[in-house]
Amino acid sequence: MNTQIKFTLNGSPVMVEAPGEISLLRLLRDHLNLTGTKEGCAIGECGACSVLLDGRVVNSCLVLAPQVNGREVVTIEGLGQQDGAHSASDLQAAFVKYGAVQCGYCTPGLVIAGEALLRSNPMPTRAEIIDGIAGNLCRCTGYQQIVDAIEQTALQRAERTQQHAAAKVQE
């Protein structure tokens, strides 16, 4: 049975007809053609399907599509475009720069998890970063460079915020 689902996706309103029992992951991939969000297990164990739901990271394979009605979803495709205080593209660039990307299949989920972490905790310790990405499996990297990328992004953002504040004071 198809049902109508209305929500905000990457900043724009969308409306889709889809079967009511499918997951948000299937809705994104099969009905909205957003294939940046990946399926690695479909049971909530790998984090490859991570998206932001009302700003919090969730495994989209465990969310039923109709549950997002009236809510706000951000996928990997939408992260870079968000303007706000921090565009996540700096985090994406850091993933590349610090060697946190190998096969890349886990990367969208880890970027989302990293972004969610930095939004709630702008200056995490290494242990907090490890904790923040513990729900995301990566088989290629051994995680070290992923932690580096998130840590360095936090530092850069802090520096930028400081410069910003200093500039304001000067004005």
Partner 1 sequence: MLRHTTHWVTKPANRVDGPDKANGKAKYAGDYRVPGQLATRALRSPIPHARILRIDTSAALKVPGVLAVITSDDFVDHGRFGFPVADNFILAYQKVRYVGEGIAIVAAVDAEAAEAGVRAIELDLEALPVIEDMEQALLPDAPIIPDVVTEGSKHGQPNICLTQIVRNGDPEPIIDASPVQLDQTYATPFQEHAYLEPEAVLSIPNPDGSVIIYACDQSPFNNRGVAAAVLGLPQDKVRVIQAIVGGSFGGKDEVVYQMSAQTAKLALLTNRPVSMVFSREESIMVSYKRDASQIRIRLGADRDGTLQAARVEAWLDGGAYSAETVLTAWRAAMHLAGAYKYQAVKGDVHVLYTNNNYSSAFRGFGNTEAVACIEQAIDEIAEQVEIDPIDLRLKNIIGKGDQTMTGATLNQEVGLRACLEWVRQKSDWDRKRREFPLQNKGRRYQKGIGVACYFHGMGLGGEGTDFANATVAIERDNSVTLTNGLTDYGTGARTVFTLIAADVLGARPERIKVLLTDTETAIDSGPTVASRASVVGGNATRVAVEKIAQLLTFAAANLLQCAPAQILRDKEAFIGPDEEPVDFDTVVNHARKLGYVLSAHGRWQLPVIHWDFAKGTGTPYVGYTFGAAIVEVTVHSGTGRVQADRIWAAHDIGKVLFPEGAYGQLYGGITQGLGYGLMEEVEFNHGYIHNVNFDDYIIPTAMDVPPIEATFIEAPFHLGPYGAKNVAEPSMLGVAPALANAVYHATGKRIRELPLTPERVLLGHALHNDDHGDNSRQWLGYGKGLGNVRVI
SS3 151: helix
Does 37 help bind partner 1 (rule: CB under 8 A)? yes
| Least distance in angstroms from the C-beta of 42 to ligand FES | 5
| Partner whose binding site includes residue 170, from ligand FES, partner 1, none (CB under 5 to 8 Å by kind) | none
Hey, what are 132's tokens?
A: 């923040």
| Partner whose binding site includes residue 27, from ligand FES, partner 1, none (CB under 5 to 8 Å by kind) | none
Does 14 help bind partner 1 (rule: CB under 8 A)? no
Hey, what are 160's tokens?
A: 């930028």
**Dihedral Cα 104, 105, 106, 112, nearest 10 deg:** 80
What single-letter DSSP state applies at residue 3? E
Q: Summarize as ranges the residues that interact with ligand FES (CB under 6 A).
A: 39-42, 44-49, 59, 61, 102-107, 138-141
Does 108 help bind partner 1 (rule: CB under 8 A)? yes
| Partner whose binding site includes residue 133, from partner 1, ligand FES, none (CB under 5 to 8 Å by kind) | partner 1
Backbone angles phi, psi at 26, to 5 degrees: -70, -35
Sheet holding 12-19, edge to edge: 12-19, 2-9, 72-74, 50-53, 56-59
Q: Where on the chain is the footprint of partner 1 (CB under 8 A)?
A: 29, 33-43, 45-46, 48, 75-77, 79-80, 89, 92-93, 95-99, 101-108, 111, 130-131, 133-147
